[in-house]
Structure 1
Amino acid sequence: MCAFVLVAEDDEKQAELVRRYLRHEGHSVVLVSDGRAAVDQVRHNRPDLLILDVMMPGLDGLDVLRTLRRDFDLPVLVVTARSTAEDKLAGFDLGADDYLTKPYDPRELMARVRSLLRRARPEGGVTVAPLRVGALSLDQVRHEVRVHDRRIECTPAEFRILETLMASPGQVFSRRQLLDQAHGPASFVTERTADAHVKNLRRKIEQDPRQPTRLRTVYGVGYKMTDGGPDA
């Protein structure tokens, strides 16, 4: 699966190493060294994947993520030396799809790239009917989510969580189950990351995110999807 990958990294040696590994797997690569250039590249060239360093001059990685998520749903792998749970949650809360802490093995980076690309661009031409729960619909082929025919922009991780919940309405899923769907079973994200994804989804699909009627919390267990009632 060849792709166009944008790498936003201000460490020249690290950026060149990542470029070599990506090119070895057949991907086309563009390198940028600051946040503003990363935003411009996404807006004008629409990469398939963004590898985003947090510590960059001008506009840091989290600001880049915050800016891009207003309009784009491309997969984003955040790479940073910051390793606390709070740092990771900040990235996921802004819409990151995966998080890798420096220093890292380039082979692990490539494994995560392959996983994100597979999830974002599933292969095969099988026709799949859209999922519908109340006024909420999810088209797996077009990768679209709508509420009352109003399109909702979701990150790939948010889309996979919503897809899991909508495929089995009423079933309760634990945070770990949802994270396995969103990031893969080998991911090292904490269960609090699921709460960050759910928080973002509620902002997008609920009339009042503080009193959700669709994406419900089952306290002490996890989350489930309901139809939201006749007017939701």
Structure 2
Amino acid sequence: MSDTARTGLDDDTRPLVALLDDEPEIRRMLVDALEEAGFRIMAFGRAREFEAALKRTTPDVCLVDLGLPDRDGLALVHRLALESGAAIIIISGRAQVQDRVMGLELGADDYIIKPFDPAEVVARIRARLRRPRQDHGRARIARFAGWTADFDRYMLIDHQGREVPFSHAEGEVLRLFLESPRRVISRAQMQESLGGAAGESFDRAMDVRISRLRTKLGEDPRNPRLIKTIYGAGYVFLGEVRWG
């Protein structure tokens, strides 16, 4: 039986996970664990098949190995972050700090180091999906300081109509700021709202996402006017925000 035959596509109510890993044993282990946990699963050993499938359907989560035989894993993660709208979790044997930092900088939501317990992967996926379910019924368009944030398209549009894409991970942080303008948001509040384990890895991920948002909003990194750092306290978004 092929990997893609075990997807459970007859049940559209279950979250869909797209898995890309060239190691058959890891694919089988994760497919079994995710199906037992109640997810639909599409599993692929080659990036070409994975990308073709994503043109036909949109998964809720992408699990992507970096060591791929037919594609640069980091380049694929970056493209997925800009185009797919799915949460992206890297699974990789690359344990160096610089690899984890690069993955987060390119738009991944999480980074799991091999070898891992399948239960940890299931827990991380559930944590990523918890917040999108809470987004149901919330406004999807916000306007501020000459910008429009479209959370359906993962797109920032400036006053001249130019479009700048943002990733799923960046969108979570942006929404948090836009829903609480002119209020200091501490690291602890960010961790509680966005999930993830508190610590250096989470702090680094937030620094990366905020830096990327500032760049996309044309902010001066030495004196940002919208997303201000309050040293020792957190961050504050200073723009006036209108939803809808």
TM-score (norm 1): 0.81
Q: 1:70 to 1:168 in 2, by over 3 A?
A: closer
Comparing 10-19 with 80-89, greater Cα deviation is found at 80-89
Cross-structure match for 2:5 = none
Alpha-carbon offset, residue 192 of structure 1: 1.8
In structure 2, the CA distance between the partners of 1:127 and 1:169, relative to structure 1 (3 Å rule), is: closer
- CA deviations over 1:97-140 (Å, ceiling 9, x no partner): 1111111111111111112122233375x465855543345567
Q: How does 1:1-232 map to 2 (within 5 A)?
A: 2-122=14-134, 126=137, 128=139, 131-138=142-149, 142=152, 146-148=156-158, 150=161, 152-182=164-194, 184-186=195-197, 189-206=201-218, 212-227=224-239
Counterparts in 2 of 1:173 and 1:70: CA distance versus 1, 3 Å: same
Cα contact 2:154–2:167 (8 A) shared by 1: no
Kept in 1: contact 2:81–2:88 (CA 8 A): no
Tell which deviates more after alignment, 98-107 or 38-47: 38-47
Cα distance in structure 2, aligned partners of 1:83 and 1:28: 28
SS across alignment from 2:56: helix
RMSD: 2.9
Q: What is the CA distance between 1:37 and its match in structure 2?
A: 3.2
Secondary structure of 1:70's aligned partner: helix
Q: How much does 1:13 deviate?
A: 0.6
Structure 2: distance between partners of 1:123 and 1:198 = 21
Deviation (angstroms), 1:173: 2.6
Alpha-carbon distance between aligned partners in 2 of 1:116 and 1:45, rounded to the nearest angstrom:
19
Q: What TM-score, normalized to structure 2?
A: 0.77
In the alignment, residue 222 of structure 1 is paired with which amino acid?
Answer: G
Q: Distance in 2 between matches of 1:88 and 1:217?
A: 24
2-structure distance, mates of 1:85, 1:108? 20
Query: Counterpart amino acid of 2:95?
Result: S
One-letter code aligned to 1:33: G
Aligned residues: 225
Give the aligned residue type for 1:85.
V
Q: Give yes or no for contact 2:33–2:118 (8 Å, CA) kept in 1.
A: yes
Q: 1: distance between equivalents of 2:140 and 2:167?
A: 21
- Residues of 2 paired with 1:8 and 1:169: CA distance? 38
Could you tell me which amino acid in structure 2 is paired with residue 82 of structure 1?
R
Question: Is the contact made by 2:182 and 2:238 (CA closer than 8 Å) also made in structure 1?
Answer: yes
In 2, Cα distance between equivalents of 1:143 and 1:121: 17
SS at structure 2 position matched to 1:107 = helix
Maintained 8 Å contact 1:97/1:155:
no
Query: What is the deviation of 1:65?
Result: 0.8
Seq. identity, %? 27
* Residue deviations 1:189-211 (CA, integer Å, cap 9, x gap): 24122111112212322365665
